Amino acid sequence: SSRLASENILQQTSLVYLDDIINVILHRAKKILRLFEVSVTVTNSEEAVVYGDFTLIQQVFYNIIENATKYVPIGGKISIFVTNIMDKVFVRIYDNGPGIIESKRKLIFESDKLVLIFS
């Protein structure tokens, strides 16, 4: 978010299919993900589509997945859940890493930080 604000990045917004995003992420990260158990679960039959910038959305998801690989033990689990409910799409990314230590959690919610809530 800081880079977006400081560099005035021009966003190319359009309809984005989240299955395309996930496929790009899994392909892009296949070398690091081979050490983990990765699962993708999509519920509801409708395609999960959002309006936004494909490149920026996939970069955010990639950063989250890459971050998970830094803290999940080798062989650990990384799960991606996509749910399409009426006009909303929920993406949840879980892992079995240690999580954020209590003393650092408050930093996530400072006003100058971007918090992404996928559910």
Cβ burial of 114 (10 Å; 0-12, 13-18, 19+) is exposed
Tens of each residue's pLDDT in the chain, 119 residues:
555 555 555 577 888 888 899 999 999 999 999 999 999 988 875 678 888 889 888 988 999 899 899 989 999 999 999 888 877 888 888 999 888 777 777 776 554 444 444 33
pTM of the model: 0.76
Q: Please give the helix or strand (H or E) that residue 42 lies within, else none.
A: strand 37-43
What are the start-end ranges of the H helices in the chain?
A: 2-7, 18-28, 30-33, 54-71, 102-108
Judge whether 68 and 78 are in contact, CB under 8 Å: yes
Q: Answer for the pair 36, 18: CB distance below 8 angstroms, yes or no.
A: no
